[in-house]
Structure 1
Amino acid sequence: MELGRFWWWVVLILVQLGMNGCFGCWEQEKAALLQLKASMNFTADIDPLRTWNSTNKNSDCCDWERVKCDNTTGHIIQLDLYDMIRLGREDWCLNASLFLPFEELQHLDLDANWISRWVPNEGFERFSALRKLEMLYLANNNFNNNILSSLSGISSLKLLYLSYNKLNGSFHIPAFSNLEDLYLDDNEIDDFVTTTTKGSNNLPKLQVLELGWNKVNARIFKSLTTFTSLKILRMRGNNLEGSFTSYN
């Protein structure tokens, strides 16, 4: 009986491997990569994703540039799509649903794409379905204050880069229950609002906060008192002048 159960599991594993072509990336993820590339409308002479093509049926998308797969499962875990839109277009109209087939995605880099808009109802809120996404790089884009609330549904997020965007004034930081590193430098922030509920705060695990080169002044320190796990705070290039109150 035990031997029969063992062979049943062997057959099941072989079937799973067969669905994945035994080696390499998953066919549905390969198709999703090609659809994602098509949405960027590269011209023939300007194509930073030349290796992303379907001409070779045996091509393993885990070997494509800017793609990293898990060595065991073959699922895509990292996409480095920084600086995709640089010649011939003003920005990238994002369709976040195109990333949803990458269910094991842990690391996504969209830096320097000048993203400021997305397909209606297909914004970053859709990323809440990416349950394993931990690192999200969105620096050098055109996001305003609303981007934080759009991202708050990504409960797995540990690192968020929003440097060099259009965050400004005073705004509310929503809850990120697992966020450890938050980079907000080189914006026009002067303060932000945090909330606490029954003794807990909305960034309970935050350890690194980068606020350099904004417009914050001494009143920011009152907001920072809610970050009880904070270890590193960078605030160079701001308006910290004169005397201010120390908060415990």
Structure 2
Amino acid sequence: MMDSKWLWFMRMAAMSVLLLLEGCRWCTIDACVEHERVALLQLKPFFNHYNEFDSWDELKGSDCCKWKGIECNTTTGRLIGLSLDSMRSGYLDYWYLNASLFLPFKELKRLYLTGSGIAGCVENEGFEKLSSTFRNLQFLDLSQNHLNDSFILSLSQFSSLQYLNLAYNLLEGKWPHIQGLNNLKILKTLDLRWNQMERFQSFKDDDKKLELTHLEELNLEANLFNNSVFVTLDKLSNLKSLSIGFNQLNGLIDMKDLDAYLLVIYVDMAIKACGL
């Protein structure tokens, strides 16, 4: 009799443990990871130009998942989104970023640094140091900064990128780093508007063209491209949207140059602005 009661007790205990473990599958974590909270506080002085970080409390144990501009995984508490948009006087105060400060955020998927006044990175502390850590980074917005052509090389190993915004920077001339962009093999959206770019075909890269076969949306508005741009984009086999208004398109466009764009659903050439 005693053995049967003991057996019943053990079975009930085992069932309770199983129910507890099953319940934990649906648990959420309310607080962020401590070392990521500390890392965010180290970033604060570089971006807190307008005192935007009042919610970034230095009190130990403060939940950084509730801070402005922060998005966390509700299960693990790890940071997956960081938005520092326009928190520094970008057009008045250019500076060089130490990208290593982002290394603790190993699960980051989205990083927004719009209008941050970044002119580049500290020597040996550029974005290239993040590529082996940021294996899940999908969205990167560096628009409205002061970045030049060479900066693209530091992004060439971010193989998980699907969205890249480099609009309103200082990219110019005949693009010298085509291969750097071509390494972003699953990129779907590329925004390069309001720079001073002239062409994508680079003689420095053995006359390579842009070959992003997953690219669906390309914005080239307000650059210095002429009619020959269509030939240099003929490797973008999956392109669905092309915006190219406010460039230097003139006269008639040879329709043969558009043969590669049979999949393009939307082409915005801003005809009146181009003088066609």
Structure 1 and Structure 2 fold alike (TM over 0.5): yes
- Cα shift readout 1:141-184 (whole Å, capped 9, x = no counterpart): 01111122211110100000011001111113222111000000
The letter for the 2-side match of 1:185 is R
Report the Cα distance in structure 2 between the residues aligned to 1:83 and 1:54, rounded to whole angstroms. 22
Report the Cα distance in structure 2 between the residues aligned to 1:228 and 1:88, rounded to whole angstroms. 37
Q: Report the CA distance between 1:79 and its aligned residue.
A: 0.6
Where do 5+ consecutive residues of structure 2 fail to align?
1-13, 260-276
Residue of structure 1 in register with 2:190 after alignment: 182
Structure 2 residue matching 1:237: 3-state secondary structure: coil
Residue of structure 1 in register with 2:110 after alignment: 107
Structure 1 residue corresponding to 2:40, chosen from 8, 29, 33: 33
Residue of structure 1 in register with 2:4 after alignment: none
Structure 2 residue corresponding to 1:217, chosen from 199, 205, 226: 226
Q: Report the CA distance between 1:69 and its aligned residue.
A: 0.6
Moved over 3 A (4+): none
Q: Report the CA distance between 1:189 and its aligned residue.
A: 0.9
Q: Report the CA distance between 1:203 and its aligned residue.
A: 1.1
Q: Report the CA distance between 1:88 and its aligned residue.
A: 11
Residue of structure 2 in register with 1:233 after alignment: 242
Structure 1 residue matching 2:111: 3-state secondary structure: strand
Report the Cα distance in structure 1 between the residues aligned to 2:143 and 2:128, rounded to whole angstroms. 18
Question: What does 1:99-248 correspond to in 2, within 5 Å?
Answer: 99-128=102-131, 129-171=133-175, 172-173=177-178, 174=180, 175=182, 176-193=184-201, 202-245=211-254, 246-247=256-257, 248=259
Q: Report the CA distance between 1:32 and its aligned residue.
A: 0.8
The letter for the 2-side match of 1:85 is R
Structure with the greater alpha carbon radius of gyration: 2
RMSD of aligned residue pairs (Cα, Å): 2.9
Between 117-126 and 154-163, report the one with greater CA deviation.
117-126
- Cα shift readout 1:116-160 (whole Å, capped 9, x = no counterpart): 132210111123121111000011001111122211110100000
8 Å contact kept, 1:110–1:137 = yes
Structure 2 residue corresponding to 1:86, chosen from 86, 89, 92: 89
Q: Report the CA distance between 1:193 and its aligned residue.
A: 2.0
Residue of structure 1 in register with 2:274 after alignment: none
Q: Report the CA distance between 1:93 and its aligned residue.
A: 2.1
Structure 2 residue matching 1:189: 3-state secondary structure: strand
**Structure with more helix by fraction:** 2
How many aligned residue pairs are there?
231
Question: What does 1:65-80 correspond to in 2, within 5 Å?
Answer: 65-80=68-83
Percent of counterpart pairs with the same letter?
Answer: 37
8 Å contact kept, 1:85–1:92 = no
Residue of structure 1 in register with 2:31 after alignment: 24
Report the Cα distance in structure 1 between the residues aligned to 2:234 and 2:202, rounded to whole angstroms. 10
Report the Cα distance in structure 1 between the residues aligned to 2:105 and 2:173, rounded to whole angstroms. 35
8 Å contact kept, 2:90–2:144 = no
- Cα shift readout 1:174-203 (whole Å, capped 9, x = no counterpart): 22111000000011111112799xxx9741
Q: Report the CA distance between 1:24 and its aligned residue.
A: 1.3
Q: Report the CA distance between 1:243 and its aligned residue.
A: 2.8
Residue of structure 2 in register with 1:52 after alignment: 56
Where do 5+ consecutive residues of structure 1 fail to align?
none
Question: What does 1:1-16 correspond to in 2, within 5 Å?
Answer: 10=21
Structure 2 residue matching 1:35: 3-state secondary structure: helix
8 Å contact kept, 1:194–1:202 = no
